[in-house]
Structure 1
Amino acid sequence: MSKQIIQTDKAPAAIGPYSQAVVVPVGSTVYLSGQIGLDPATGDLVSENCEEQVRQAFANMTAIIHAAGGSLNSIVKLTLFVTDIRNFGIVNSVMSELIPQPFPARSTVEVSALPKNAQFEVEAIIVV
């Protein structure tokens, strides 16, 4: 899949591992539901630790992307939900490690609560 990254100096530069916008000329769009840090075998959160929840949520998302016939390069948009914006650095660090460049577009939102008292949730739009 070919992604065209949109970048303009007339809008603020990205403050993390993401692009201002992404254009994909062809393909099928797949909308993934949000994933939290649940262990697929138990249905319980993997840990109370934020970084471990972030890693598991991305692992869950990756499994769904592969099931849809895509890869992490297929991601064009991520939406991240955190219950504490102070964990923004942890999320950026893990995302920088796991998601290949060019980075997808992204939004990050602080929310008051997530299912099962999770600290992090990720949803994605991919093109395959």
Structure 2
Amino acid sequence: MKKIDTKKAPAAIGPYCQGIVIDQLFFSSGQIPLTPEGELVNGSIEEQTHQVFSNLKAVLEEAGASLETVIKATVFIKDMNTFAAFNEVYGEYFNEHKPARSCVEVARLPKDVLVEIEVIASVQ
């Protein structure tokens, strides 16, 4: 197993790492809309989703993967009423390549953010 740690994404805010590579698979921890410096991106679901994808791209790159190698995304969203706006942004990042996805509404997310995404990807 290889632990993934990059300064291009926010540090873990608990006893976990940004992700793990085992065999040819990368498993990310859930990414929330924190900047690499640890600042919370307050704002709309769209703004928060863009920051989450920035973080995902950074940890994927550190792992030797990319958005194009994502196999499965799991999305946690605070309010399913914002799903259409979220999905517009999501589609900007996954337009040609469309991994499997689950999306669930949750009562609360860390730091009261609107969205959290974790991915599983193939490592090249």
Question: Under TM normalisation by the shorter chain, which class is it?
Answer: 0.7 to 0.9
Matching residue of 1:40:
36
Q: Partner of 1:112 in structure 2?
A: 107
Report if aligned partners of 1:35, 1:57 keep a CA contact under 8 Å in 2: yes
AA at the equivalent of 1:96: G
Superposed displacement of residue 106, structure 1: 0.1
Match of 2:14 in 1: none
- Give the corresponding residue for 2:62: 67
1:102 Cα deviation (Å)? Answer: 2.8
Q: Gaps spanning 5+ residues in structure 2: where? A: 1-22
- The 8 Å contact of residues 51 and 91 in structure 1, kept in 2 or not, is answered as yes
TM-score of the aligned structures, taking structure 1 as reference length: 0.75
Cα-Cα RMSD: 1.2
TM-score (norm 2): 0.77
Report how far residue 71 of structure 1 moved: 1.3
Instruction: Decide which of 81, 90, 98 is 1:86's aligned counterpart.
Output: 81
Which of 91, 98, 103 is 1:96 aligned to? Answer: 91
Q: Give the whole-Å Cα distance in 1 for the aligned partners of 2:122 and 2:27.
A: 9
Runs of 4+ in 1 over 4 A off after TM superposition: none
| Cα deviation, residue 100, structure 1 | 4.0
Determine which structure has more spread, i.e. the larger CA radius of gyration.
Answer: 1
- 1:72–1:100 Cα contact (<8 Å) kept: no
For these two proteins, the number of residue pairs brought into alignment is 101
Q: Secondary structure at the match of 2:29?
A: strand
